[in-house]
Amino acid sequence: MLQEKKIILGITGGIAAYKSAFLISQLKKLGADIWVVMTKAATSFITPLTLQTLSKNKVYIDLFEDSSSFIPKHISLNENTDLILIAPATANTISKISQGIADNLLTTLVLSSKTQKVLAPTMNENMYNNPIFQENMEKLKKMGYLFIEPEYGRLACNKEGKGRMANIDKIIEEVKQVLINDNLPLKNRKILITAGATREPIDIIRYISNRSSGKMGYALAKEAKRLGGEVTLISGPTFLSSLEGVAMIKVDTALKMKEAVTREYNDKDIIIFSAAVCDFRPKKVYKGKIKKREENLSLELIENPDILRELGSEKKGKFLVGFAAEDSDNIKSAIIKLREKNLDLIVFNNITEVGAGFEVDTNKIKIITKDETIKEFPLLTKQEVAQNIFKEIIKNLPSAN
């Protein structure tokens, strides 16, 4: 099943390091080519000789060990690697990676690699729950690192708690899911999705915004990831949690969203604009807080850039998807947006229909493709809606024609 897959197995200094022997033997049975990289601390828990015997490859520990090759080890090892799996991953190694520290072969290898990374943390429960560690882990999750949650049970410190490395079967399952996705339709596709509302400040505590919850955009990001895509989500402020394996960029104003989209645009294949961008912003942002007063207050609003229209005018060969949230069944307005913003597909919804508006878990859409054919869908959950949107996108992608 994992034939021809090269996995670098990073092993760090936790008691669960002894389980690496079982992990290697199972991965080998599935046909994977395993290259073990240990930290010095890991060698106190299990010997390199054991792992070398099981992996049938040299085990690497030292960044500066003598080598016959002039290519640095962290570069040569990285070549053709399909996955870097760190199991067990200690708090120390995870935190160092999150800060870009490269002080041993394993952390240097991770910093210099673009390969998908999967980490199986293990540590004392207090360490796991420590906000410093949680913040470091969150940072990596947002960058697309995958984490296999530790389990509850007896820990090395002789206490019960959450911190045991996930069991080997679970780790193998995760590895399979990441590596056996060759047939997934969005494999090797980079997808950028905007979600949620923007906030346009009036003074330091007040803003103009809209009722978009971001749920539709997050559902799309989740579906894109499930279909094998490499997903970046640019999100306005929401109450939704970040998504496993999806790179997150948080913004507040339309101008900041435009900056982020423009920066991310060039290396993406599919860009989906589900964000409800505020069309206007206050011309003047008051310093401090506007005090109550006798007379009325007028706010002058100026137009925000239409991010989708601007990028659509250049297009650069991207597959562009827009949303048209309308207050009636008038689909013509959506067709005009499709044409004028130079889109490949637009998703229409009538926000006045029950269950199809903002802040709900359902939506009722029509999908209009470039040739202006219209496909209508019933009221569905936003996750089902996301599935239908991607079905249409995949059908209409250039290489699928």
Q: How many Å from the N-terminal Cα to the C-terminal Cα in the chain? A: 30
Our CB check for ligand CTP shows the closer of 93 and 194 to be 194
Beta strands 280-282; 301-303: pairing state: antiparallel
Amino acid occupying residue 240 = L
Contacts of 201 (CB under 8 A, 6+ apart): 207, 253, 281, 282, 285
Q: State yes or no: residue 392 binds ligand CTP (CB under 6 A).
A: no
Q: Which of 174, 200, 269, 306 binds ligand CTP (CB under 6 A)?
A: 306
- How many chain residues interact with ligand CTP (CB under 6 A)? 14
Q: Which of 207, 273, 319, 348 binds ligand CTP (CB under 6 A)?
A: 273
The one catalytic residue in 21, 61, 102, 157 is: 157
Cα gap 174→380, rounded to integer Å: 29
Q: State yes or no: residue 308 binds ligand CTP (CB under 6 A).
A: yes
Cα gap 9→6, rounded to integer Å: 10
Of 33-41, 143-151, 184-192, 271-279, which segment contacts ligand CTP by CB under 6 A?
A: 271-279
Q: State yes or no: residue 279 binds ligand CTP (CB under 6 A).
A: yes
Of 141-149, 152-160, 163-171, 304-312, which segment contacts ligand CTP by CB under 6 A?
A: 304-312
Task: With H, G, I as helix, E, B as strand and everything else as coil, classify residue 24.
Answer: helix
User: Is 157 among the residues known to form the active site?
Assistant: yes
Site string for ligand CTP, 313-332 (x = CB under 6 A): ---------xxxx-------
Q: State yes or no: residue 307 binds ligand CTP (CB under 6 A).
A: yes
Q: State yes or no: residue 252 binds ligand CTP (CB under 6 A).
A: no
Our CB check for ligand CTP shows the closer of 27 and 254 to be 254
Task: With H, G, I as helix, E, B as strand and everything else as coil, classify residue 387.
Answer: helix
Our CB check for ligand CTP shows the closer of 60 and 323 to be 323
Which tokens sit at 135?
């913040």
Q: How far is CA 55 from CA 36, 80, 140, 230, in A?
A: 8, 17, 28, 30
Contacts of 64 (CB under 8 A, 6+ apart): none
Residue 349 belongs to what H/E stretch?
strand 345-350
Q: Do the beta carbons of residue 394 and residue 270 sit within 8 Å?
A: no
CB of 356 to ligand CTP, least distance (A): 14
Q: State yes or no: residue 236 binds ligand CTP (CB under 6 A).
A: no
Q: State yes or no: residue 277 binds ligand CTP (CB under 6 A).
A: yes
Q: Which residues are catalytic?
A: 157
> Would you tell me which residues interact with ligand CTP (CB under 6 A)?
254, 273, 275, 277, 279, 304, 306-308, 322-325, 337
